[in-house]
């Protein structure tokens, strides 16, 4: 069988051809196998497993996104035809846990000898949710270096207990291996393997934007909001890709509409300005969306003007509260727990002139408190679109009711 010689990421350090044999790896984004509900409106490319695939250069790969039409049937076809030795499932949303466990349970009898691995945001913070017979290994944290180490170790018959950053499901229970350090520099990570699902890319959309792609320019956030799991997932560190690397990735994406996956894209305002200016210089014309804090928008209205010129179409802002007291209670005020000395956060909505500003408003279930009602009415009246969801503490956060292991 021919070695996978696809050149994507070949020049990106960190994916050496260190193995002599190759494994057959099936990358799976679990789903119900039909497009339903929220997935009909927003269905973004499975960037997490595309990144994991990028790190598996030298192995034979297939990818199936089960959220798309006939997902279950396509999974079964590939399993029958390809007979993977490793199945790698991605589960970033807590709401996808049961679908992920069900897919693993479906695969187990079909592939009794295969190693079934799960990774993503939820398994990283709650590996116990995957302590089931269908799953062999849970990967904690960012996946690129761990999956390569894991698959190489499996291929060479080594001991998985020596692979840092994993949880092994054994008959005696879950065995945690030692912690893996975060990737030293994001520029060393291989490029995501977007080519593995070429025919599917037209299916990715965000509302009316289609085809739609994701680009990651940074990981982590310097803030410490109590309800948020991002800073814990990235161990309190913020790492960014160089502007050159970001431009390289952007130039390689064919979709016209792009969402930056960074949880706080304007963490370094100067860097984001440079990206916008370089896009303008390079003549890359696309529609961009990103997530930012209201206080940064309020403090830097000029950054929005530059980004509008570069193609900004949408900014997501989370409005968990609107008064300084409420924000301080959530540790969202700037200054790590101290009330902000800058403008009140809601001024961010006023100072955002032309692009659509979308707000995400978590509301406490049950009786709507006056604080919730004021958050809702203030943000809904000042933003183009607002999405409300019940406040539920993200696993891995320190929000009341959240859990992790
Ligand atoms: C794109 C995105 C969206 C999009 C698309 C959602 C969709 N359903 O398709 C939009 C904007 C619509 C959205 C909405 C929401 N989102 Co959102 N979203 C993201 C975002 C910003 C990017 C995801 C991404 O591609 N990341 C980049 C890739 C590279 O990272 P990754 O997937 O984590 O993969 C890495 C590792 O996890 C690991 N890995 C992943 N899979 C695998 C598999 C294997 C085998 C291995 C080894 C490793 C591995 O390796 C990868 C590379 O290092 C993340 C935040 C983030 N930074 O990830 C939040 C995030 C996923 N969203 C989150 C939330 C809470 C929401 C909302 C509920 C917000 C709200 N209140 O309305 C809604 C719900 C949407 C829904 N029901 O589907 C949370 C999920 C928390 C949780 N535990 O469930 C996240 C993590 C942000 C956060 N911490 O708050 N979201
Ligand atoms: S909610 Fe936003 S600003 Fe707060 S820690 Fe999370 S990503 Fe950072």
Any atom of ligand 1 within 6 Å of the Cβ of 14: no
Asked if residue 244 and residue 381 are part of one domain, the reply reads: yes
| pLDDT tens figures, 5-48 | 333 333 343 444 444 569 999 999 998 666 666 666 788 999 99
In a domain, 1, yes or no: no
Work out whether strand 60-65 and strand 24-29 pair parallel, antiparallel, or are unpaired: parallel
Q: Taking 60 as the threshold, does the pLDDT of residue 239 lie above it?
A: yes
Same domain? For 255 and 385 the reply is: yes
| Domain-terminating residue out of 132, 158, 176 | 176
Q: H or E stretch including 50?
A: helix 47-54
As to burial, measured by CB atoms within 10 angstroms (0-12 exposed, 13-18 middle, 19+ buried), residue 369 is exposed
Query: What value does the mean pLDDT take over residues 381-403?
Result: 68
In terms of residues, how long is the chain? 405
**What average pLDDT does range 371-399 have in this prediction?**
68
- Residue 161 and residue 20 share a domain: yes
Average pLDDT over every residue of 275-304? 92
147 CB within 6 A, ligand 1: yes
Q: Is residue 196 part of a domain?
A: no
Residue 368 is predicted with a pLDDT of 57
Are residues 269 and 374 both part of a single domain? Answer: yes
Name every residue whose Cβ is closer than 8 Å to that of residue 127 and which is 6 or more positions away in sequence. Answer: 138, 140, 167, 174, 176, 405
92 in a domain, yes or no? Answer: yes
- Which residues contact residue 371 at a Cβ distance below 8 angstroms, ignoring those fewer than 6 apart? 321, 323, 326
State the residue range of the domain holding 41. 16-176
Three-state DSSP class for 136?
coil
Residue 211, phi then psi, degrees to nearest 5: -70, 150
The answer to whether residue 64 is domain-embedded is yes
Q: Are 386 and 239 contained in the same domain?
A: yes
In a domain, 304, yes or no: yes
Percent of the chain with pLDDT over 70: 75
Q: Name the closest ligand to CA 363.
A: 1
DSSP character string of 237-296: --EE--HHHHHHHHHH---SEEEE--TTTTSSHHHHHHHHHHHHHHT---EEEEE--HHH
Identify the domain boundary among 176, 191, 223.
Answer: 176
What is residue 49's predicted lDDT score, i.e. its pLDDT? Answer: 97
Question: How many structural domains compose the chain?
Answer: 2
Question: Is residue 160 located within the same domain as residue 234?
Answer: no
Q: Is the CB of 397 under 6 A from ligand 1?
A: no
Query: Is 248 found in the same domain as 148?
Result: no
Q: Are residues 170 and 221 in the same domain?
A: no
- The model's confidence at residue 116, banded by pLDDT at 50, 70 and 90, is very high
Which range has the worst mean pLDDT, 66-75, 266-275, 277-286? 66-75
pLDDT at position 17 is 47
Q: Mean pLDDT over all residues of the chain? A: 84
345-366: burial string, b at 16+ Cβ within 10 Å, e else: bbbbbeebeebebbbbbbbeee
CA–CA distance, 98 with 141 (Å, rounded to integer): 20
**Phi/psi of residue 195, nearest 5 degrees:** -70, -15
Rounded Cα distance, 225 and 237, in Å: 14
> Within a domain: residue 396?
no
Distance 92 CA to ligand 1 centre (A): 5
User: Which atom of ligand 2 lies closest to the CA of 228?
Assistant: 6
- Express each pLDDT in 207-226 by its tens digit: 888 899 999 999 999 999 88
Question: Which residues make beta-bridge pairs with 43?
Answer: 205
Q: Is 404 in the pocket of ligand 1 (CB under 6 A)?
A: no
Mean pLDDT of 339-348: 42
CA distances (Å), 132 to each of 128, 193, 264, 390, in order?
9, 29, 35, 29
- Give the pLDDT score at 121: 94
pLDDT of residue 370: 66
Measured from the Cα of 291, ligand 2's closest atom is 2
The verdict on residue 259 lying in a domain is yes
Q: Work out the average pLDDT over 367-387.
A: 64
Separation CA 270–CA 75 (nearest Å) = 44
Ligand nearest to the CA of 31: 1
- Taking Cα atoms as reference points, which of 168, 175, 248 lies closest to residue 216? 248
Domain end call among 158, 176, 194: 176
Residue whose C-alpha is closest to residue 294's, from 360, 197, 215: 360
Is the distance from CB of 46 to CB of 63 less than 8 angstroms?
A: yes
Q: Which atom of ligand 2 is nearest to the CA of 224?
A: 5
Residue 269 inside a domain? The answer is: yes
106-114 average pLDDT score: 98
Q: For the chain, what is the largest distance between any 2 Cα atoms, rounded to a whole number of angstroms? A: 65
Residue 15: what pLDDT?
A: 45
CATH of the domain at 139: 3.40.50.2300
Residues 76 and 169 in one domain: yes
Q: Is residue 158 located within the same domain as residue 257?
A: no
Q: Are residues 72 and 170 in the same domain?
A: yes
Mean local confidence (pLDDT), 340-359:
49
pLDDT in tens, 121-176: 999 999 999 999 999 999 999 999 999 999 999 999 999 999 999 999 999 999 99
Q: What is the CATH number of the domain that holds 284?
A: 3.80.30.20
Q: 277 and 376 share a domain?
A: yes
């Amino acid at each position: 069988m021919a070695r996978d010689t696809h050149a994507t990421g070949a020049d990106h350090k960190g994916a050496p051809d260190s193995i002599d044999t190759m494994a057959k790896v099936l990358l799976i984004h679990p789903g119900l196998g039909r497009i339903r509900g929220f997935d009909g409106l927003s269905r973004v490319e499975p960037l997490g497993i595309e990144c994991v695939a990028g790190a598996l250069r030298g192995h034979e790969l297939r990818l199936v996104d089960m959220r798309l039409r006939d997902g279950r049937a396509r999974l079964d076809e590939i399993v029958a035809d390809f007979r993977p030795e490793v199945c790698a499932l991605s589960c970033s949303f807590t709401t996808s846990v049961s679908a992920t466990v069900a897919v693993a349970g479906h695969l187990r009898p079909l592939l009794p000898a295969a190693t079934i691995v799960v990774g993503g945001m939820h398994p990283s913070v709650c590996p116990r949710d995957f302590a089931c017979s269908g799953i062999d290994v849970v990967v904690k944290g960012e996946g690129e270096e761990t999956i390569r180490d894991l698959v190489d170790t499996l291929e060479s018959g080594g001991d998985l207990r020596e692979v840092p950053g994993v949880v092994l499901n054994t008959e005696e229970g879950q065995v945690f291996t030692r912690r893996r350090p975060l990737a030293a520099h994001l520029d060393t990570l291989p490029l995501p393997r977007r080519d593995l699902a070429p025919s599917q890319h037209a299916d990715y959309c965000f509302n009316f934007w289609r085809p739609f792609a994701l680009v990651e320019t940074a990981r982590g956030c310097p803030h410490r909001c109590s309800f948020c799991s991002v800073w814990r997932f990235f161990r309190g560190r913020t790492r960014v890709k160089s502007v050159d690397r970001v431009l390289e990735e952007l130039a390689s994406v064919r979709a016209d509409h792009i969402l930056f996956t960074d949880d706080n894209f304007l963490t370094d305002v100067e860097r984001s300005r440079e990206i916008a200016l370089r896009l303008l210089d390079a003549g890359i014309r696309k529609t961009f969306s990103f997530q930012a804090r209201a206080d940064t928008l309020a403090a830097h209205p000029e950054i929005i003007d530059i980004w509008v010129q570069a193609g900004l179409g949408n900014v997501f802002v989370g409005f968990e509260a609107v008064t300084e007291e409420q924000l301080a209670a959530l540790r969202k005020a700037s200054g790590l727990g101290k009330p902000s000395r800058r403008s009140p956060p809601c001024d961010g909505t006023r100072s955002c002139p032309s692009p659509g500003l979308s707000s995400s408003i978590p509301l406490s279930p049950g009786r709507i408190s006056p604080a919730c009602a004021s958050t809702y009415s203030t943000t809904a009246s000042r933003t183009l679109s607002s999405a409300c969801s019940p406040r539920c503490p993200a696993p891995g956060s320190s929000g009341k009711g959240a859990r992790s292991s």
